[in-house]
Amino acid sequence: MSQTKILVVDDEIILREYLTELLELEGFSTLSAGSAAEAIGLLKNNQAALVLSDLFLGQSSGMEILQHLKLTEANTPCYIMSADLTEEIRGKCIHAGAKGLIKKPFDNSAIISLIRNSLSH
Amino acid sequence: MNQRNLIFSWLIFALSLGSIVTASAENNPTADSLYAAIEATEDDTTKIDLLVALSEQFEEKDKAKAVEILNSALKLATAADSKIRQASIMRAIGNIYISQADLDKATQLLFSSIKISEDIKEWEGAASAYILLGRLHMEKGMDDNASKNALKYFIKSLHALEKAGNKKRIATVLNNIGTAYGSMNDYSTAIEYLLKSLKIREEIKDDAGIASTLSNIGLIYSHQNDYNKALIYQMKSLVIRERIGDKKMIANSMNNIGDVYAKQGEYDKAVEWLKKGLKHATEIGNKNFEKNSYEGLMEVYEAKNDFANALVYARKYEELKDMMLNAESDEQIQELETKYETEKKEKTIQNLTQEQLAKETEIVRRRTVNTSVLIGAAVIALVLLFTYRTYRQKQRANELLTKLDKEKNEFLGIAAHDLKNPLQTIIGYCQMQTSYFDKLSKEKILKQTNNIEITSSRMLDLVSNLLDINAIEDGLVKVDKEKTTLIPLLEKITEGIENQALHKSIKVQLNTTEKNMEVITDPLLLRQIIENLLSNAIKYSPESSQVLLSCTRVNGAIEVAIKDSGQGIPVNEQERLFKKFSTLSTRPTAGESSHGLGLSIVKKLSDLLNIQVSFESEQGKGSTFKLLLP
């Protein structure tokens, strides 16, 4: 049985490394991208069960990934992570189709529970 | 009257020339009964006293009418040869003229009143006229000359009162004299008079007066920067005011205490007292003290660098000031209208009695009107210019506060984002090593620990950069210039940055044309500038490339250049290159962090050392940053 694939998007290489390691330790397979364009490219050629993306990706943004998912009518749940989650940002992300928002820094156990819960529905 | 009020009264005067409205105090039952009594009495002195009482009914709302009635009373008093009444009526008319800023007429009448009072040794009357003359000079402005003149008359009034032996009034005048000396910065004399006033007020148990003098002594000590004494006197004054329930002045005392704490740099206490003062002032509806509280709070928050709160109180202060100014302007319109009416009525009387001079008067009047129109136009132009400049200054101050507030929010935003991100990595890895210890290989743990170290170093860099920027902007960076030999300094810098370069297999090459190049500069700050530029050059250059550091003479000056082989800076982003927190589309080539602070520090430090920074950049071919040393 193939492993569930999760796409991790963050412009910080080390943060990306940490997240993919964590997910792999929990039995998931991972894809990783450093920008919205790279993530969209991976989504076109791979079947991801869930996307975990930072909001601020240097010159690009997690919102671009949400727009892509909406346009392609993909049902892939996408969670947006950020250290700076104002009410305005929350509203925009949810409106753009985010499944949920995750405020940094978060606990390993919390994010794993969230992902498992989301995938079980 | 302060400068702004003066300007507004000119404006209002100009406006009132086009629209004259007659103020009226008719339909007043007291006035009606006084009219009836005047008609009924045949005794001249009674009639005079009734006329004076009647004039008081009009003094607030129809000054022209009040002056007209007082003039009738004066005629009767002169005819009856009642010196006391003549002097008293002259003072009353003089007082009205002062309120209308007709200072020449007021002066003339007050001197006549003094002469009569002194002739008959009526010292209290003479003292009252001297006090009015003092007030008249204070109305002319708060410069040293006006204060000296005011003081001269206050002292004369004091001498007159000493002859009359009225202790309460002597204490009041001594208090006024002390305050006038204070406004002339002669603090020791001010304290001397205030203490005399205090002694008398204590003798006669005038509690409100004691509190007022104590507060004034506190203000003088505050001017002398003796804040401990200032605080003691303000506190004593407050205790008395609270005991006698003088609510209005309690607010004033609280504001004064807040001001003293602010001057001492005890900002939290200052805020506490100013807010107490504000609460009291608001409760009793005293706009003046309320305004003082807002002003004090605005200044304290500004001194605390709490610009958001400073902005809040600056706005409240300006709003209240504008509101009060508008209300004051309405009153001034009324006053100017009645003043105009007074003059008109007086002119009519004069014309009736001097018909033969009418033609000459008309010629003179036309000339005067023409001259007045010209002067008025010039004054209005100046006033408009001044008002506009004042408005712009206020607007600029608000813009500055808004900008500072925005910068502070930006700072907090950056701190939140750029510090929480690395914390996520550190916390996450630590939790991972605890939860999955058995599943992780030695190599994995080593790699993770290395990542934690890199992330922590980046956090430290960010915090150091933020502190550096803050120190430079607050003027806390000390510049120690000395004769510096450049090449050894550049060699040390190159050695120091070797580690960072080695990670990307980048070679940092130092090129110089001569060995003994010397400059007068601060070597530590220059090192920080060059290290920042070299670090950037390494970050943005591809692996296994070269970064060149050169030092040459250009037209007699020394130029240090740092050349990278990165992607270059896009033209549309070059303008904001040296601005704080400006991140570019070009990113470091090996995932290094960039917070947009390094070049801002370079620019600010270069400005401190009078170094000119420039750069050349071409996309795809790299960038060269040049430092032209003075």
pLDDT > 90 fraction of chain B, expressed in percent and rounded: 27
Mean pLDDT of B560-568: 90
Q: Taking CB atoms and an 8 Å limit, are B424 and A56 in contact across chains?
A: no
For residues B10, B15, B19, B25, the Cα torsion angle rounded to the nearest 10 degrees is: -40
Among chain B residues, CA nearest to A34: B591
- Which of A21, A22, A83 minimises the CB distance to B421? A83
Query: How many CB atoms are located within 10 Å of the residue A16 CB?
Result: 20
Dist. CA B609–CA B602, nearest whole Å: 11
Rg over alpha carbons for chain B, rounded to the nearest Å, is 38
How many C-beta neighbours within 10 Å does residue B609 have? 18
Residue B503 touches partner A, C-beta closer than 8 Å: no
Collapsing DSSP states into helix, strand and coil, what is residue A81?
strand
What is the distance in angstroms between the Cα of B318 and the nearest Cα belonging to chain A?
31
Distance in angstroms (rounded) separating the CA atoms of residues B253 and B248: 9
B contacts of A22 (beta carbons < 8 Å) = 428, 432
Whether omega before A105 lies within 30 degrees of 0, making that bond cis, reads yes
- pLDDT, tens digit, 9 for 90 and up, residues B239-269: 999 888 888 899 999 999 999 999 888 888 9
In this structure, what DSSP letter does residue A70 have? H
Q: Is the pLDDT score of B16 beyond 90?
A: no
Asked if A104 is an interface residue toward chain B (Cβ–Cβ < 8 A), one would say yes
d(CA B274, CA B301): 11
Average pLDDT, chain B: 82
Out of B429, B435, B439, name the one closest to residue A18 (CB).
Answer: B429
Only one residue has tokens 């105009």, namely B340
B297-303: average pLDDT: 85
Range with the poorest average pLDDT among B179-183, B287-291, B408-412: B408-412
Report the SS3 class of residue A89.
Answer: helix
Q: Binning pLDDT at 50, 70 and 90, where does residue B331 land?
A: low
Provide the angle, in degrees to the nearest 10, between the axes of the packed helices A13-25 and B442-473: 150
Kindly indicate the confidence band of residue A17, based on its pLDDT and cuts at 50, 70 and 90: very high
pLDDT in tens, B277-295: 999 888 888 888 888 899 8
Dihedrals phi, psi of A85, to nearest 5 degrees: -105, 95
pLDDT at A53 over 50: yes
Q: Which of A25, A83, A104 sits opposite B439 (nearest CB)?
A: A25
Tell whether B585 lies on the interface with A, counting CB pairs under 8 A: yes
Q: Note whether B591 contacts A14, CB cutoff 8 Å.
A: yes
Higher-pLDDT residue of B36 and B197 is B197
Please report the DSSP string for B491-535 in residue order.
HHHHHHHHHHHHHTT-EEEEEES-S--EEEE-HHHHHHHHHHHHH
> In chain A, whose CA is at the least distance from the CA of B434?
A108
Which one of B410, B425, B448 makes the best mutation probe of the A interface by having the most chain A beta carbons within 10 Å? B425
B451, amino acid identity: N
Range of lowest pLDDT (B93-97, B489-493, B572-576, B606-610): B572-576
E strand spans, B217-271: none
Residues of A in contact with B424 (CB under 8 A): 15, 18, 83, 104-106
In Å, how far is A107's CA from the nearest CA of chain B?
7
From A54, which residue of chain B is nearest by alpha-carbon distance? B421
B301 vs chain A: nearest CA distance in angstroms? 26
How far is it, in rounded angstroms, from Cα A81 to Cα B426? 16
DSSP annotation string for B179-232: HHHHHTT-HHHHHHHHHHHHHHHHHTT-HHHHHHHHHHHHHHHHHTT-HHHHHH
How many CB atoms are closer than 10 A to CB A20? 20
- Interchain contact B428–A (C-beta under 8 A): yes
How many angstroms separate the CA atoms of A1 and B532, rounded?
52
Among candidates A25, A58, A104 on the partner chain, residue whose Cβ is nearest the Cβ of B421: A104
The CA radius of gyration of chain A, in Å to the nearest whole number, is: 13
Asked whether B248 and B263 are in contact (CB, 8 A), the reply is no
The closest CB to that of B428, out of A22, A34, A56, belongs to: A22
Choose the mutation target among A13, A18, A22 for the interface with B, i.e. most B CBs under 10 Å.
Answer: A18
**Under DSSP, is residue B617 helix (H, G, I), strand (E, B) or coil?**
strand
- Name residues 432-461 of chain B within 8 A of A (Cβ): 432, 435-436, 439, 444, 448, 451, 454-455
Q: Cβ contacts of residue A89 below 8 Å, gap of 6+?
A: A55, A82
Question: Which of A11, A22, A56 is nearest residue B432 as measured by Cβ atoms?
Answer: A22
Q: What is the 3-state secondary structure (H, E, C) of B539-569?
A: HHCCCCCEEEEEEEEECCEEEEEEECCCCCC
pLDDT in tens, B508-535: 999 888 888 889 999 999 999 999 999 9
- State pLDDT tens for residues B450-466: 999 988 988 888 888 88
What burial class does residue B111 get, using C-beta atoms within 10 Å of its C-beta: 0-12 exposed, 13-18 middle, 19+ buried? middle
Strands B622-629 and B518-521, sheet pairing: unpaired
ipTM over the 0.90 cut-off:
yes
Beta bridge partners of A61: A56
Classify burial at B138, counting beta carbons within 10 Å of its beta carbon; exposed 0-12, middle 13-18, buried 19 or more: buried
In angstroms, the Cα distances linking B411 to B153, B531, B594 are 58, 24, 15
Closest CA to B218 of B210, B209, B227: B227
Question: How many CB atoms are closer than 10 A to CB B213?
Answer: 29
Q: What distance in Å separates the CA atoms of residue A7 and residue A9, rounded to the nearest whole number?
A: 6
Phi and psi angles of residue B24, each rounded to the nearest 5 degrees, phi first: -140, 140
Give the range among A31-45, B318-332, B492-506, B569-583 with minimum mean pLDDT: B318-332
What pLDDT does B6 receive?
A: 35
Task: Give me the percent of chain B exceeding a pLDDT of 70.
Answer: 86
Name which of B419, B423, B428 is nearest A108 (Cβ-Cβ).
B428
Residue A43 C-alpha, separation from nearest chain B C-alpha, in angstroms? 23
Output the pTM of the full model. 0.44
Closest partner residue to B424 (CB to CB) among A21, A59, A105 is A105
- Residue B375: CB partners within 8 Å, gap ≥ 6? none
Length of chain A: 121
- A27 three-state secondary structure: coil
- Min mean pLDDT across B36-40, B242-246, B432-436 is at B36-40
- CB B247 within 8 Å of CB B280: yes
Sequence-ordered list of residues with C-beta below 8 angstroms from that of B293, at least 6 positions apart, any chain: B251, B255, B258, B274, B275, B277, B278, B281
Lowest-confidence region among B173-182, B256-265, B573-582: B573-582
Residue B490, number of CB atoms within 10 A of its CB: 22
Torsion over CA of B574, B576, B579 and B582, rounded to 10 degrees?
-90
d(CA A16, CA B232): 63
Which A residues, 20 through 59, put their C-beta within 8 Å of a C-beta on chain B?
A: 21-22, 25, 34, 56, 58-59
* Non-local CB neighbours of B306 within 8 Å, separated by 6+ positions: none
